[in-house]
Structure 1
Amino acid sequence: MPATFSYASILRAVGQVLDQIGARSIAIHEEEDGLFVEGFNSDGQLQVQLRYDIASLYDLVNKSENQVDEATPIETTGVLHRFLSNHDRELAGTLL
């Protein structure tokens, strides 16, 4: 069992949960025994509150890492486009 996780792995795991819920903005507060996470809808109204203690964060990150290991490129190619669409943004590129 690893002693620590990177912020990137923790935020990725929490972000996947918030994406599934459909949160449009978030607030994450670090607490002595874990994280307190709030997700808000597009109107800024509180949609969900999640409290993760150390043990539940460990489980969440492990589950997230296992899902990433099993993901295929086809499953992950639309992530950026879905994110941009959900946030009313579009990808700008340049032609060479």
Structure 2
Amino acid sequence: MPATISYANILHAVGQVLDQIGAKSIAIREEEDGLFVEGFNSEGQLLVQMHYDIASLYELLKTQEKQPETVSEATAEGILHRFLAQHDRELVGTVF
């Protein structure tokens, strides 16, 4: 099955890489030939700079599609709350 190219899938895959290295803040810039990504620690020091051209983004997406999704809904909720707490934010919902 070919990798689906969308901003959601690309950002999810890149986000997982940043999570693995422990980035606390990020900067992502779209360039003509791909993405330039920077990850910083909690003190604002640069941890990593990555340049993903189109081919490497495609490979990253293909690799991620092969990995089973192991995050349950409860775990995802915990991750969201931890992220919001680390960045001194709160979740605001909308009621329809």
TM-score, with length taken from structure 1: 0.72
Question: Would you say how many aligned residue pairs link Structure 1 and Structure 2?
Answer: 91
Unmatched tracts of structure 2, length 5 or more: 92-96
| Runs of 4 or more consecutive aligned structure 1 residues displaced over 6 Å after TM superposition | 88-91
Equivalent residue, structure 2, for 1:48: 48
C-alpha separation in 1, matches of 2:75 and 2:45: 31
Note closer, same or farther for the CA distance 1:82–1:65 as it changes in structure 2 (3 Å cut): farther
TM-score, with length taken from structure 2: 0.72
- Summarize deviations over 1:48-87 as a string: whole Å, max 9, x none: 10011111100111222222x4536387675435545655
Percent of residue pairs identical: 69
C-alpha separation in 2, matches of 1:65 and 1:82: 25
The amino acid across from 2:70 in the alignment is A
Helix, strand or coil at the partner of 1:36: strand
Is 1:71 the counterpart of 2:70? The answer is: yes
